[in-house]
């Protein structure tokens, strides 16, 4: 084992430039103050993330994706994670709604990118691009690529979800520097744990807000996303 995270564990891979991502059933919120086991969540997120990473790879954005190994594990390229969470938003929701006191679901005039520092000790504070560059969390060129990739990923994901009657409200991305090629690549996962997904007609939440806000049937909602994406896992 190389690293035990909140929702995933990382194990050594078969070669020095690969690792295995194991998807757990653990769900946490409020910086791990709230914790629960959601039976089957890891299996669903593994399949959903595998599917979406492949779609992103297909449009030419480099990702850590190699292959799904089994129900809970994927083989991925080893990266050094850039310690930034990139939040991509199409609508007001969550912390942004709170900050400006604007109703969740209100459309943004344009796609908004925000950044948080990846630090559990500090509670993932929001930071600016100036902070990132001044502190040296990544280079100017790397940040430019991160922004460009994030907007393109938003375009493809919005289309994929729209076609199955789901509105992509916002999501979180993490990037890393590939150990082998030294290029910036998309890492981590894309799943209902890291996206806000609302049914287009009813606005029913099909994502981790069901857990954060005690709305019930978290697994059923994740299962619905898998089924609508028509993923044969």
Using CB under 6 A, list all residues that contact ligand UDP. 85, 87, 93-96, 124, 170-172, 194-196, 208
Give whichever of 18 and 95 is closer to ligand UDP, judged by the CB atom: 95
Q: Cα(136)–Cα(134) distance, rounded to whole angstroms?
A: 5
CA-based nearest residue to 157, from 63, 42, 82: 63
Give whichever of 96 and 186 is closer to ligand UDP, judged by the CB atom: 96
Q: What is the closest distance, in whole angstroms, from the C-beta atom of residue 3 to ligand UDP in the complex?
A: 16
Q: The tokens of 45 are what?
A: 């997120």
CA-based nearest residue to 164, from 191, 198, 192, 196: 198
Give whichever of 208 and 210 is closer to ligand UDP, judged by the CB atom: 208
Q: Is 205 helix (H, G, I), strand (E, B) or coil?
A: strand
Q: What is the closest distance, in whole angstroms, from the C-beta atom of residue 210 to ligand UDP in the complex?
A: 11
The DSSP-derived string for 40-83 is: THHHHHHHHHHHHHHHHHHTT--BSEEEE-SSSEEEEE-EEE-S
Whether 185 and 79 have beta carbons less than 8 Å apart is answered as yes
Q: The tokens of 138 are what?
A: 């990544």
Q: Which residue sits closest to ligand UDP, CB atoms considered?
A: 94
Q: What is the closest distance, in whole angstroms, from the C-beta atom of residue 114 to ligand UDP in the complex?
A: 7
Q: How far apart are the first and last CA of the chain?
A: 25
- CB-based contacts of 198, cutoff 8 Å, min separation 6: 105, 166, 167, 169, 204, 205, 206, 207
Q: What is the closest distance, in whole angstroms, from the C-beta atom of residue 135 to ligand UDP in the complex?
A: 19
Give whichever of 13 and 173 is closer to ligand UDP, judged by the CB atom: 173
Q: What is the closest distance, in whole angstroms, from the C-beta atom of residue 38 to ligand UDP in the complex?
A: 15
Q: What is the closest distance, in whole angstroms, from the C-beta atom of residue 136 to ligand UDP in the complex?
A: 22
Give whichever of 27 and 87 is closer to ligand UDP, judged by the CB atom: 87
Backbone angles phi, psi at 220, to 5 degrees: -60, -40
Q: What is the closest distance, in whole angstroms, from the C-beta atom of residue 214 to ligand UDP in the complex?
A: 14
Give whichever of 13 and 28 is closer to ligand UDP, judged by the CB atom: 28
- Angle in degrees, CA 225, 171, 32, rounded to 5: 95
Give whichever of 77 and 172 is closer to ligand UDP, judged by the CB atom: 172
């Amino acid at each position: 084992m190389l690293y035990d995270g909140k929702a995933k564990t990382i194990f050594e891979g078969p070669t020095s430039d690969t690792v295995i991502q194991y998807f757990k059933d653990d769900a946490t919120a409020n910086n791990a103050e709230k914790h629960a086991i959601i039976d089957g969540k890891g299996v669903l997120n593994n399949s959903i993330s595998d599917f979406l990473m492949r779609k992103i790879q297909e449009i030419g954005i480099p990702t850590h994706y190699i292959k799904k190994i089994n129900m809970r594990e994927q083989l991925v390229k080893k990266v050094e994670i850039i310690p930034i969470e990139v939040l991509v938003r199409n609508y007001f929701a969550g912390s942004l709604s709170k900050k400006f006191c604007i109703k969740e679901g209100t459309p943004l005039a344009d796609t908004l990118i925000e950044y948080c520092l990846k630090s559990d000790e500090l509670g993932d504070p929001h930071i600016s691009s100036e902070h990132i560059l001044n502190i040296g969390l990544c280079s100017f060129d790397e940040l430019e690529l991160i922004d460009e990739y994030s907007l393109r990923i938003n375009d493809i994901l919005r289309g994929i979800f729209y076609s199955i009657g789901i509105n992509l409200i916002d999501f979180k991305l993490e990037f890393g520097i590939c150990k082998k090629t030294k290029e910036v690549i998309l890492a981590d996962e894309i799943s209902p744990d890291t996206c806000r997904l609302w049914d287009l007609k009813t606005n029913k939440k099909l994502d981790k807000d069901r857990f954060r806000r005690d709305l019930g049937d978290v697994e059923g909602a994740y299962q619905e996303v898998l089924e609508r994406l028509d993923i044969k896992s």
